[in-house]
Amino acid sequence: MLCPLLAAGAASSADLNEAWLAIANSHPKDALRKLDESDPARAVQLARAVALMAQQSATDDNVRAAEKIFVELATGNDEPADEAAYLQARLYQLHYVQPDYAKAAELYQALAQRHPRSHWAQLGLVKLALLKLYVVPDTTAAGSDRLAPAEALLAQISDPLLQRDLNLQIGQAGVALKQPLARFLPHLVAADRVGGITATAREDLIVQIGVLSMRAGDWAQAKKYFERYLVEFPNNVRAYDVKLNLDDAIRHLAKRAGS
Amino acid sequence: MSVKRHRRRIGVVVLGLAYALAVWWVFTRSTPLIQQRPVTIRFAHWQIERGPPDGIAAAIKRYEELNPRVHVEQLLIPGATVYPQWMRSNLAGGTGPDLMEWGSWLAGQRDIPARYFTPLTAELAKPNPYNKGTSQEGIPWEKTFHDNLLVPRRDSPEPGQIYAVTISEATVRLFCNIKLLQQCTGSTAAPTSFDDLRKIIARIEDYARRTRQPIHALAGSGDNGLWIAESLFSAPLMGVSRSIDDKGYLYTYNRDVLAAYLEGRWSYGSPAVSAGLRLVREVTGAMKPGFLQLHRDDAMLEFFRGEAVFIYTGTWDATSLRRMAPFTVVPMRLPNVLPSDPEVGRYIIGIGGEGQGETSVAMYLNRYSEHKAEALDFLKFLTSVPGNQLFTDASLWLPSVNGVKLPEEIKDFRNYQLGHSFGQAPYDIIGSEVNGEWKRHFYQLVGEQGSVKQFATALDEVMPVAIRTDLQNEMRNTLLLVKPQDALIVANAEMATATPTDGHYRERQLEMEAGQTMSEGLALQMKLVLDTTTIGKR
């Protein structure tokens, strides 16, 4: 009696994995073919909604169909509920032809209140902070300090990698929003300390901390980062200027030591 | 009766011939009549100059010996006119090759990596297995490249990801017909500064006038004109780029230069930018009239006919020049414009640098390839010490990988100038709209009817809209990648939970989350500039 049921269950789980794999390989149509629309399992419905939002070409109809499923799933109290709530916010921020940043911000906030420790809620806080930095500034909270609302959200994030990502973004926003150097340079240093930043972003960050430290008069920190750059990227076109800046930093430190 | 016997004889002869043909095929051909290798990967590029196809074929031959399951097909697609359309239509139609070359300067193709290619970052962090027993054994793949993959990192659609590996290295040189230089100027000394070159050009023009010979200092064509223009135009721009480097990168990305224009921080009429235009006008004046209408092959022919003393081109043409020129060709560096230059020196902050060489011919892995593992494996072989050595020896193009021995003929190309380098590109190629307007109006700079003022004025009339459009496109291209990642992140998270022993999916999820946030931040910074500036708004 049990055998056919077990077999059905195993096949369904295998199909689900195949569907997720198809989505991970950017083949959402294949995923939809593997999933039974009438299957009420929450995991299956989540995969269906994700496949719908990933359809090419993207249309508001597909996004709406995905949202309908996300809304239903988000009422639960499990991992798919948090994933669905996070993705619903993403739809309003990025996927609808006409974004609704305020609505997205509201949904990220609601998820963080409901399940603050969930990975998806924490990732949502990073996205919310970006919105607050650039498109829905919180003007009531901290006057003209554009970084403060994002810093308040940073305090709610416990995942070190997500803290790193938000620190990096607050640092970059500090430059873009022309904030005082002392307000954002420590965020860049904090992001670097966690490590794991790769490719150009890594190279840019090391030079950037060196140069901004120099501009802030922190010659010792500038020297440290310039030296690190020259060890990691000795052949890069920037190495010549980094070397000149390093010489400058060493001169200033020697002068200070002399006086 | 005799007809029957005759027919039988014909049958026996035909059978005998067929048998003989089969025996001949078996003993003289290495490949079977029907392809028996189960996997075929296609490798497409536009380097159809003399050299690279031979180099890649040599590497393929060895790879196929090592991997009997795999056949690698090299597709040579002409670059300038055919490749972009060919690439887009094949990728869109789902028939794109497994591995393909791409460059950020291909007009209108900036969105391709985000749409169709897959990042190699995680693979690049591991050693290349084909480097076993070489000087690069155990070193992460990324660190085995001469420049640590500077160009693929710079051109990546995501700041935290690397999407390509390079197989060669290129630079530009002033190739000289040394005998003709001696004949025109009485000396074979290479110019040591731009002012020195200026004087040599004047002497060559004087010689041509006196002897009534059709000799020009520089072989001319639209392509060669633009290459030398870009090199010289960059010299005074270094100071401008430094002044707009708010981020402290000691480097300006195209998006930063576009944004600074919209913020009114530079224009084509700015004194330093105009100084660059002046250098471009000066040097293109040393090419024959009408050069803009000609192509690089025409310039090569002019040089081969002994009608031009120098040709300014990339080391990608070096093998052709060496094999085809009926005279001795000596490569020289284009001399620097120095702060002591009598004409534009006050805008020059120092010597311009070439770094330690940038590797090139960037190869990308098609996201939709059915043989990703095999294609990646071939890339690893081609960019290993033994694979890249085969490429270098057969092509006489510089290798991209450390530990490859340089053939004698190309040793000089690694003699790079150290100096400042402040930007991703000179201000004529910071975007495809910008480049289109530059080319459309270039005639207003050169020749007897042209002038710097006229060109700068024309550009500052059309560029505001072009620059705003290019920044909008940069933002859209960044978002192109961000959007689909939402589904990919969740799918990788689900796969990580379903297969807890396979760390690959969790690694990919976290890598994508970090990259996506960085790209979103960049897009929002561009949006901020577009929303808060008015230059170029219609």
The CA distance from B198 to B187, in Å, is: 15
Mean pLDDT value across chain A = 91
B121 touches chain A (CB under 8 A): yes
pLDDT beyond 90 at B428:
no
User: How much is the average pLDDT of B419-432?
Assistant: 84
Question: How sure is the predictor about A148, in pLDDT bands with cuts at 50, 70 and 90?
Answer: very high
Q: Say what the pLDDT of residue B158 is.
A: 79
The CA distance from B345 to A121, in Å, is: 57
Residues of chain A in contact with residue B356, where contact means CB-CB under 8 angstroms, are 234-237, 239
Which of A23, A79, A176 minimises the CB distance to B491? A23
Reference B169, options B14, B322, B370, B356; nearest CA is B356
More confident residue, A57 or B409: B409
Of the residues A235, A243, A246, the best mutation for testing chain B's interface (the one with the most B CB atoms within 10 Å of its CB) is A235
Question: How sure is the predictor about A1, in pLDDT bands with cuts at 50, 70 and 90?
Answer: very low
Segment B297-345, tens digit of pLDDT: 999 999 999 999 999 999 889 888 988 999 999 999 999 999 999 999 9
C-alpha dihedral over B434, B439, B441, B446, to 10 degrees?
Answer: 130
Q: Say what the pLDDT of residue B27 is.
A: 56
Which of B148, B491, B511 minimises the CB distance to A24? B491
Residue of B nearest to A79 (CA): B494
- Put simply, the answer to whether A235 touches B153 (Cβ < 8 Å) is no
| Its pTM surpasses 0.90 | no
Segment B61-113, tens digit of pLDDT: 999 999 999 999 999 998 767 999 999 999 999 899 999 999 887 877 878 88
The CA distance from B162 to B159, in Å, is: 8
More confident residue, B3 or B48: B48
A226 touches chain B (CB under 8 A): no
Helices B503-532 & A119-134, crossing angle to 10 degrees? 20
| Cα radius of gyration (chain A) | 24
Which of B249, B419, B491 minimises the CB distance to A208? B249
Residue of A nearest to B494 (CA): A20
Segment A152-173, tens digit of pLDDT: 999 999 999 999 999 999 999 9
Continuous H helices in B372-451: 372-382, 385-395, 432-441
Which of B245, B487, B513 minimises the CB distance to A54? B487
B407 touches chain A (CB under 8 A): no
The CA distance from B526 to B154, in Å, is: 17
Reference B174, options B344, B1, B335, B3; nearest CA is B335
pLDDT beyond 70 at B199:
yes
